[in-house]
Amino acid sequence: MPVIEYALDRLFGSVTQAALEVTIASELGSLETLDGFAHTPGRPRAWAQPLGRVCVISSRTTVGVAILPAIFALCAKNSVLVKDREDRLVSAFFKTLAEELDYFESAARAEIWSGERGGQNLAAFDGVAAFGRDDTLIAIRAGLHANARFVGYGGRASAGYIAREDCTALSLKNLLPGAARDAVLYESEGCLSLHVLFVEDGGETAPHDVAGELGKALGFASVEFPPGRRDAAVSAAVGNARNLAAFRAAAGNGAVFWDEACTYALLFDPPRNEAPAFLPRLLALLPVCGPGDAAAYLQTHALPLEGFALSSPRADIVAMATDTGAARVVRFGDLQHPPIAGRHGGRPRIAEFVRWVQAEV
């Protein structure tokens, strides 16, 4: 429940009329574009029309992930169907909308279906926005008609980088609680969860000691946001990763920090030839000499990044973060709170749900 309450406060607290209007105007030119011509001198007149029937397919990881795409698809005056999660959050949200305005009773629907059987004929939609694994998105796209708009949000990771100048007791006291929260929320399964953290050598606090302090912060965050139920196989995988790291540490290679219940595990200096494990509340911390080391690791494992949390706006660190292809570069603690006007996955919010008509008469 603490995770749910946090997620709902962050989600619905950001949905304001002003934020919606600013986002729409920034992408379409003006709010009037949805009702009439948008004219830029030297260019043909054009106006935005609804795409038509839009389906939004939720993922099972992040609470309410389908709500913002659905809101913007509705703002573009489309008919919207959402494949809801088992928590039926979107269904409850749409019910509230319909209570406020009758229009939404027919324009906004949410259903639960599983797999191909009993689901929707996706070929009947003019646009589909989907969250999920890459293989799932490939299968969904294959079921659309040729002219349908497809907006896919596939599997991504998020990373963090602590500069040597921020490896001080005061800076770490401010940084690490946010980093821990970024790691534990949504069981580390979301694309905005912190999966790998780089710590620069040469600071006042050595990377190993940073890991020790972060381990404590992960413990506090796991009390504030208790873990959900875990499948036995997942729990076993987390335990195996912890045990293997402990075995390596006993041989003098790296270290591991965890609590007695294995609620979380922090792997310090794991082998560079191994990608992050992407298991619940399992975080890898790698000491690096500089941004080049971090970039090399990410390139070696071809990690597609959604977010990159930085402790410092130092030019070489920012350049590395942007060069990795990350869609967002933020401060620690803000990874799990994307702004409503931001481009999730590097994609616009409302422009995906309109079609443009050019006027030449």
pLDDT at 271: 95
The residues pairing with 355 across neighbouring beta strands, listed in sequence order, are 49
- Residue 152 neighbours by CB distance under 10 Å: 18
How far separated are the first and last CA of the chain, in Å rounded? 57
Give the whole-angstrom CA distance, residue 30 versus residue 26. 7
**Which CATH architecture fits 2-155+341-359?**
3-Layer(aba) Sandwich (3.40)
Segment 5-30 mean pLDDT: 89
User: Are 125 and 147 a contacting pair, CB within 8 Å?
Assistant: no
The class of domain 157-326 in CATH terms is alpha beta
Which residues touch 144 (CB under 8 Å, ≥6 apart)?
122, 123, 125, 128, 150
pLDDT at 42: 58
pLDDT at 361: 64
Segment 243-270 mean pLDDT: 93
Q: Which of 202, 175, 188, 162 is CA-nearest to residue 286? A: 162
pLDDT in tens, 198-240: 999 999 999 999 999 999 999 999 999 998 788 889 889 999 9
User: Are 248 and 265 a contacting pair, CB within 8 Å?
Assistant: no
**Taken in order 122, 124, 128, 134, is the CA torsion positive or negative?**
positive
Per-residue pLDDT band for 357 (boundaries 50, 70, 90) equals confident
Tokens of 90: 């979107």
pLDDT in tens, 35-82: 655 555 556 677 889 999 999 998 877 778 899 999 999 999 999 999
Give the whole-angstrom CA distance, residue 218 versus residue 236. 20
- Domain ranges, ordered by start, for the chain: 2-155+341-359, 157-326
Amino acid at 174: N
pLDDT at 59: 80
pTM: 0.88
